[in-house]
Homo-oligomer: A and B are copies of this chain.
Amino acid sequence: MTVVLHSDPLEPFSLVSEHERGLAPGSFGACALFVGTMRDFNDGEIVTGMTLEHYPGMTERELALIEDDARTRWPIQDSLIGHRVGRIEPGQPIVVVAAWSAHRQAAFEACQFLMEALKERAPLWKQEALEDGGRRWVSPSPNPSHQGGEGL
C-alpha cells in the first residue's frame, strides 16, 4: 500500500517492478497495472504541455484512503499509486496504479477501481498549455466510466 507523488518524470514500469521486489516471491499470482500518459492532442487541439496542481497533504491522504477501500473490497495483497504533479510534457506518464493478488480477477477489478476512484476523488487538477500560448483548465469527464480521459 504505497502512494507516491512525483514532481520529476515518472518511470511507471521501473516503479512497479521495484515495488514488486518488496513482495514475497511466489506469494502472488497476478499484477494488474494501468499507466495514464499525457497525449499531445485533446478536444481537437494540440496540447504542448500540462501543469498538474494538487493539494499537498490531502492528495496523499485521499490516495491512501482509495487504496484502503480497494483492500476492503478485493483480496489484494498490495497496491501502488504513483502520480505526477507540476509541469508535464506530452508523452510523459501522468499516473500509474497497480494491484497484486493471488488471482487475476481481483487484480483487474481492484486496478480499475483505483483509477476510477482516483479520477473521482483525488484533489488533482490539470491545466493544459495550448499551441497558441493559451491555457485552459481541463473539465472533468461527464461520465467517468465511459469517457476515459487520461491524457486529457
Seen from chain A, the residues whose Cβ lies within 8 Å of a Cβ on chain B are 13-14, 16-17, 25-41, 90-91, 102-108, 111-112, 115, 145-152
Contact = CB atoms under 8 A, between A and B. Distances in A.
Question: Assembly of this chain: how many copies?
Answer: 2
A90 to B, nearest CB: 4
Given A29-B37, A35-B31, A112 B103 contact: no
A149 B103 contact: yes
B28 A37 contact: yes
Contact of A148 (B91, B103, B147, B151): B103
A17 to B, nearest CB: 4
Contacts of A31: 34-35, 37
Contacts of A36: 29-30, 104
B40 A27 contact: yes
9 contacts: A13-B16, A25-B90, A28-B37, A29-B37, A30-B151, A34-B104, A104-B148, A105-B148, A108-B112
A21 B150 CA distance: 19
B38 A26 contact: yes
A104 B115 contact: yes
A30 B34 contact: yes
Given A108-B112, A115-B104, A148 B29 contact: yes
